[in-house]
Amino acid sequence: MSEKIRNGSEIARWLLLAAVTVSLIASSAATAQTPASSTPAASQSANAAPAGNAENGKKLYVLYFCWSCHGSQGRAGGTAPAITPSTRSADDLIKYVRKPRGAMPPYTSKSISDRELADIAAFLRAVPKDPDPKSIPLLNQ
Amino acid sequence: MAKKSKSKPVDRRHFLKTAAASAALVASKPGAARAQQPAPEPRNASAPILARPAAAPAAVVDEAVTIDRPGSDFMVDVIKSLGFEHMFGVPANTYMSLQESIVNYGRNKDPEFILATNEDLAAAMAHGYAKVAGKPALIGCHGTVGAQHATMGVYDAFCDRVPMVMILGNIFDAAKRGTGKVAWVHSAQDAAALVRDMTKWDDAPHSLPHFAESMVRAYKIAMTPPMMPVALVLDVDLQEEEVPKGANLHIPKLGTMVPPAADSGAVAELAKLLVAAEHPVIVVDRVARTPEAIKHLVELAETLQAAVIDRKGRMNFPTRHPLEQTRSRMGLADADVVLGIEVIDFAGVRSQRQGSKRISITANDLFSRSNYTDYLKFAEVDLAIPADGEATLPPLVEAVKRLITDDRRRFFQDRGAKLAAAHKEVFDRYPQQAVVGWNDSPISTARVTAELWPLIKNEDWSLVADLSFFQDWPLKLWNFDRHYQFIGGPGGYGIGYGAPAAVGAAVANKKYGRISINIQQDGDLMMGPGSLWTAANHHLPLLTVMHNNQGFHNECMEAQRLALRRGRDATRANIGNRLIEPVIDYAKMAESMGMHGEGPINDPKDLGPALKRAMEVVKRGEPALVDTRTQPR
Ligand SMILES: Cc1ncc(C[n+]2csc(CCOP(=O)(O)OP(=O)(O)O)c2C)c(N)n1
Ligand SMILES: [Mg+2]
């Protein structure tokens, strides 16, 4: 991996992922989830999509700037459509982002791995629903 | 000396009252009455300002001879005759004489000098001010370094068709620049050259009569649609030297200005098309120069029961009017006649319907500059009416009314009912859209908007912000029906316009006791944080709510897009785009400049109470800022 680390930002990213991995491995017995991906996209080949780890996916969602168009919870950010609430499988998500339609730029395997996308898909599926607008007085003024 | 008027002086109180009643947009004939206004008291700059001690002086002391009447005092007479209320400026010795005359001779009232911390901010303040006040302010700057700073603000105003008068101080006579460096580097042969491509007119007067004529001409040119900034280069000597004894100085009369309305034949032709149309759509953008525009536009739309699409370059049409169809299914797509009134990008406004007719009314067809391509893509139309949109509305309404038969009236009524239903559908959907991310942190822009509404809806409020990066939420969730409640965007999309334009607009609003609300992008504020100081210094009732997405987010998305299209690393889009290392504390920034500051607010539950506290400060007549960590858009 070391030859892939080119600067501080990449080191920071690697450290973040490593930290996530350590904490997830520690808790994996309890949560019985798939271990997190431990390496950035550039350093691994495309793997078959595993079930995904939502907690890691949440961090990757931030790291890969998905939030920048879709909002912090994927609920639509004004520049892109909502991607939550989601029932989308990892395979589905991977297929879409590799060659998206419309304004979305492609997240090819050079930019993000299948495993990382599987984690993001798991995170998107875990995002809770919004409340009913009728229950909010501020939206019924 | 300025010639005194023989006509009856206008009672200023009465004038203000009338101006307030007409809600103060476009004073089209300020000079007519006020050009001849009596000179301010005291007439003489050497008149005592501080009370002298009662006791007689013990001995006669030899005193230096003072300049009793510098040229800049006469300049103030001319400026006052035109009804200027403010000069936004950064002090500089090349126009300090005028500043001193404004402050002492003119008693710092009409115009009042408002200190900005950068000429760019001064220009953007004048920009925001003019959109609420309906008339230009002065901006004061060094003709060299000051003008260089000012250009961005002036460019936005130029693109936004907003008037202002730039005063550029200069030292024309090289023999007066001495041997030092500063006077030389702060002088230019042609100081206005720098802003010539973004102003409508400029001059460098050589004498006081020349100044008087050029100042009145500058005002007239700036205020004739299409309105734009103008510039006057003022020589230091002309400002500082004594007015020659016996000089018979005259202030030219401005007279009543009538904006250019359309040719009556063209109006009749257009009225025929509109009355005969099945689904005419009226698209408006920068129409409203005065409060009258909303009234006339409502009358035109109601007479025809036609759809109105408001692109909100100004506050043109009430957002909750049933004929408002900006986001409705009955908008443009199926229009058989599209009338664009002062539409900035009419080329981009198209019906899908075969054979539909396109008509434009715009003062932009009357004047343009070449270099900057703010004229945008050429709009193909069937009928181009080169005229001021607002001025053309009343004759158009009359022409339409003359053509309507009972048959058409019944047809219009049916159409109106369908449009009203389509309008309602749109607004009924907004709560469902606004609830998206309701409890998320960072806070959704819809939630910020919804939390603000109950705090302002019973006040006399004015939103002094551009909403392009805020999903237009206030336009969807609030009720806009007054001309000053929305002022459009920057015009030239120059970031850094928002904070100072809000301050300028708040200066204009304050006179009417209105509360100004600014939704403030973080990156925009960082281009000119000194705007906050001017708001505090001027005790402006201005609520600033940060749209703090922690960076130049627009560019962040662009950087990410480019990296991904190149198969590169999207995680590096932070670099050069985000404002996170270190994180900026805007509440402290506000406090450091003397205003109430709160935040950062991350939890949406904390937002309502913070906004409430800030509003209490604003209602007491002081500015306040709430730093809200928001979703990107
Ligand atoms: C004077 C100027 N410089 C640069 C730009 C390019 N630009 C367009 S949007 C933008 C980001 C502005 O950041 P902010 O005001 O915080 O808005 P955000 O996109 O973050 O919501 C920039 C830098 C511009 N339009 N104007
Ligand atoms: Mg920002």
> Backbone phi, then psi, for B19, in 5-degree steps?
-60, -40
The average pLDDT across B514-519 equals 98
Exposed/middle/buried for residue B473 (C-beta within 10 Å: 0-12, 13-18, 19+) = buried
Among B469, B495, B522, residue to substitute to test ligand 1 (most atoms within 8 Å of Cβ): B495
B438/A73 Cβ within 8 A: no
**How far, in Å, CA of B257 to CA of B469, rounded?**
37
Chain A interface disruption, residue of B447, B448, B569, most A CBs within 10 A? B569
Q: Is the pLDDT of residue A38 over 80?
A: no
What's the confidence (pLDDT) of residue B296?
Answer: 98
Alpha helix positions (H), B582-626 = 586-592, 604-619
- From B412's Cα to the closest Cα of chain A, the distance in A is 32
**How far, in Å, CA of B324 to CA of B282, rounded?**
10
Structural domains for chain A: 8-32+52-129 (1.10.760)
- Which has the closest alpha carbon to B71: B249, B241, B245? B241
**How far, in Å, CA of B343 to CA of B341, rounded?**
5
The average pLDDT across B232-242 equals 98
pLDDT-based confidence at residue A9 (cuts at 50, 70, 90) = very low
CA atoms within 13 A on the CB side of B377: 8
**How far, in Å, CA of B207 to CA of B71, rounded?**
9
- Which has the closest alpha carbon to B311: B386, B228, B376? B376
Nearest CB neighbour to B437, from listed A10, A63, A130: A130
Enclosing H/E stretch for B154 = helix B145-159
Q: Can you say whether residue B483 is alpha, beta or left, with left for phi > 0 and alpha for psi between -120 and 50 degrees?
A: alpha
Residues B539-553 pLDDT 10s: 999 999 999 999 999
Which pTM does this prediction carry?
0.88
Mean pLDDT of chain B: 92
- Which has the closest alpha carbon to B133: B110, B106, B166? B110
What's the confidence (pLDDT) of residue B59?
Answer: 79
Q: In this complex, how many residue pairs, one in chain A and one in chain B, have their CB atoms less than 8 Å apart?
A: 106
**How far, in Å, CA of B458 to CA of B453, rounded?**
9
Beta-carbon neighbour count of residue A35 at 10 Å? Answer: 13
A-chain CB neighbours of B556 within 8 Å are 65, 68
Lining residues, ligand 1, CB within 6 Å: B 152, 469, 493-496, 521-524, 549, 551-555
What's the confidence (pLDDT) of residue A50?
Answer: 67
Residues B102-137 pLDDT 10s: 999 999 999 999 999 999 999 999 999 999 999 999
Give residue B527 CA to ligand 1 midpoint distance, Å: 9
What's the confidence (pLDDT) of residue A83?
Answer: 94
Cβ neighbours of residue B262 closer than 8 Å, sequence gap 6 or more: B270, B361, B385, B386, B387, B391, B392, B395, B396
Which atom of ligand 1 is closest in space to residue B498's alpha carbon? 15
Structure token digits, residue B348: 């981009």
Bond before B111 cis per omega within 30 degrees:
yes
What residue has token string 């939704």? B519
What does the angle CA B31 – CA B35 – CA B38 come to, to the nearest 5 degrees?
145
Least confident interval from A22-31, A126-135, B450-459, B590-599: A22-31
Among B466, B545, B554, residue to substitute to test ligand 1 (most atoms within 8 Å of Cβ): B554
Enclosing H/E stretch for B178 = none
- Which has the closest alpha carbon to B321: B204, B475, B202, B441? B475
pLDDT-based confidence at residue A48 (cuts at 50, 70, 90) = low
Q: Is the pLDDT of residue A6 over 80?
A: no
Question: Are the beta carbons of B99 and B114 closer than 8 angstroms?
Answer: no
* Residue B308 identity (one-letter amino acid): V
A76/B632 Cβ within 8 A: no
Q: Is the pLDDT of residue B431 over 70?
A: yes
Residues B239-256 pLDDT 10s: 999 999 889 999 999 999
Q: Is the pLDDT of residue B260 over 90?
A: yes
pLDDT-based confidence at residue B50 (cuts at 50, 70, 90) = low
DSSP string of B443-477? BPHHHHHHHHHHHHTTS-EEE-S--TTTTTHHHHH
A-chain CB neighbours of B572 within 8 Å are 9
Q: Is the pLDDT of residue A14 over 70?
A: no
Structural domains for chain B: 12-240 (3.40.50.970), 264-431 (3.40.50.1220), 436-628 (3.40.50.970)
B434/A105 Cβ within 8 A: no
What's the confidence (pLDDT) of residue B627?
Answer: 98
Least confident interval from A50-59, B189-198, B271-280, B378-387: A50-59
B632/A77 Cβ within 8 A: yes
